[in-house]
Amino acid sequence: MLSADTLARRRDLVDVIGSALLAWALGAGYRRVAAQVVGVTVWTVRGWLRRFALNAERVRVVFTVLAHDLDPLLAPIEPTGTAVGDAVEAVAVAARAASLRLAPVAPWQFASAASAGGLLSNAS
């Protein structure tokens, strides 16, 4: 089992990857995102972003369901206008619901644990 601070087949910490995903969801291009991540090549960051984009709908669905399982009174999660933004928002909302119901947890570490490290995996 992977530690909650890592993802399967990824060398970098999940919080580093998560901050890159958040910046991208907020509209930064992959080169700008890569410039913000110290010690990681632009091609590595581009790979994270591409893989997340391929998984975005699945991530959105899984974390939306999880958020509502953790908080049945949760209002619907508002769309952000992009698949990546919706997936990042679903992760954040689910992590917040887990923090309120169970114990405080960092959003991307929660995402790693809830996905068994498979957030950027090419398998379902």
- pLDDT, one tens digit per residue, over 63-98 is 999 999 999 999 999 999 999 999 999 999 999 999
pLDDT given at position 5: 66
pLDDT given at position 8: 65
Tens of pLDDT, residue by residue over 3-30, are 666 676 677 778 888 999 999 999 999 9
pTM of the model: 0.90
Residues 6 or more apart in contact with residue 66 via CB below 8 angstroms: 94, 97, 98, 114
Q: For residues 109 and 41, give the distance between their C-alpha atoms in angstroms, rounded to a whole number.
A: 22
pLDDT given at position 85: 97
